[in-house]
């Protein structure tokens, strides 16, 4: 019976026995190549629209961290760069059709960056991440471990898309197609942002953040079984809610609260059309 790559990875889930390091490295390098080409993903959307983590892929990424030894990755440059030898910088060629502007950006091997993606310096994409066609990763933006970013997404300057590598079964942060993430936004702890949503600058979304929908009079929260999910087309802005206990009322204290103030319409769409001017066009 043929042994699948998943089987080969999972046999090292709890550790690598002495003498099996070469076999484990071979399995990891095969997985890293598949991640590089976008042929496997650390999370996928099912036919029912629900996202699920591929736990064996995340176990394989963790295997790479365990196997790696610190090595000099400076490449002869004047500045020293030291990292694990299993996690080098991803190398691009012109045929990849990925635009990486000079100035200190870094994309780790084992991440997929599709044709038409623009990377403005400095930015960082971590292992296991997937960035689909036509997206822009602006200056000082992060795409964390295993995060999934859809088509035509703009991650504005200093936006942080957090990674969820552990536990392996946890769904990472998901940003679906045509989402606009404003400057200094943070999306963390497995939050799912559905297609065409807009996050205004400074919006922070975490597992412990309730989101108040003023349009539909609802409150969205993470539960024990489901992540926080921002509905498709929602326009989310930073807001606040009062602390209602005695001390809070006495001092006029408020807590941060993201607020859905509207859903995307023609005016919102016209405001984001400028992104099209920044994207590469085929000849």
Asked whether the predicted pLDDT for residue 178 surpasses 90, the reply is: yes
What whole-number distance in Å separates Cα of residue 155 and Cα of residue 251?
37
Question: Helices 55-67 and 21-36, interaxial angle, to 10°?
Answer: 120
Average pLDDT over residues 232-251: 93
Please choose, from the candidates 76, 75, 131, the residue with its C-alpha nearest in 3D space to the C-alpha of residue 107.
Answer: 131
Cβ atoms of 197 and 234 within 8 Å: the answer is: yes
What whole-number distance in Å separates Cα of residue 133 and Cα of residue 119?
12
pLDDT single digits (tens) 183-236: 999 999 999 999 999 999 999 999 999 999 999 999 999 999 899 999 999 999
Query: Whole-prediction pTM value?
Result: 0.91
CATH among 1.10.166.10, 3.20.20.60, 3.30.70.1290, 3.50.50.60 for 5-67: 1.10.166.10
Burial class (CB in 10 A: 0-12, 13-18, 19+), 117: buried
C-alpha distances (whole Å) from 15 to each of 9, 12, 28, 59, 62 are 11, 5, 13, 11, 10
What topology does CATH give the domain 92-277?
Answer: UDP N-Acetylglucosamine Acyltransferase; domain 1 (2.160.10)
Average pLDDT over residues 244-270: 89
Question: Please, where in the chain does CATH 1.10.166.10 lie?
Answer: 5-67
Cβ atoms of 89 and 73 within 8 Å: the answer is: yes
């Amino acid at each position: 019976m043929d042994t699948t790559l998943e089987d080969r990875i999972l046999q090292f889930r709890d550790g690598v026995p002495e003498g099996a390091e070469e076999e484990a490295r071979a399995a990891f390098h095969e997985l890293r190549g598949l991640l590089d080409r976008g042929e496997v993903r650390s999370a996928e959307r099912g036919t029912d629209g629900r996202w699920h983590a591929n736990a064996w892929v995340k176990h394989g990424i963790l295997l790479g961290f365990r196997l790696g030894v610190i090595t000099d990755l400076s490449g002869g440059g004047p500045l020293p760069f030291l990292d694990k030898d299993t996690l080098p910088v991803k190398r691009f060629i012109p045929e990849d059709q990925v635009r990486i502007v000079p100035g200190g950006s870094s994309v780790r091997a084992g991440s997929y960056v599709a044709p038409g993606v623009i990377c403005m310096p400095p930015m960082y994409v971590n292992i296991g991440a997937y960035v689909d066609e036509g997206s822009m990763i602006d200056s000082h933006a992060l795409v964390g471990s295993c995060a999934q970013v859809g088509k035509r997404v703009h991650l504005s300057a200093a936006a942080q898309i957090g990674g969820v590598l552990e536990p392996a079964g946890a769904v990472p942060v998901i940003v679906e197609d045509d989402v606009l993430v404003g400057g200094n936004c943070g999306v963390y702890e497995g939050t799912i942002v559905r297609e065409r949503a807009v996050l205004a600058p400074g919006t922070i979304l975490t597992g412990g953040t309730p989101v108040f929908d003023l349009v539909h009079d609802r409150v969205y929260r993470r539960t024990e079984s489901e992540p926080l999910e921002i509905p498709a087309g929602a326009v989310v802005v930073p807001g606040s809610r009062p602390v209602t206990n005695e001390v809070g009322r006495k001092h006029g204290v408020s807590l941060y609260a993201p607020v859905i103030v509207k859903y995307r319409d023609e005016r919102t769409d016209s405001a984001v059309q400028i992104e099209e001017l920044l994207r590469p066009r085929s000849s």
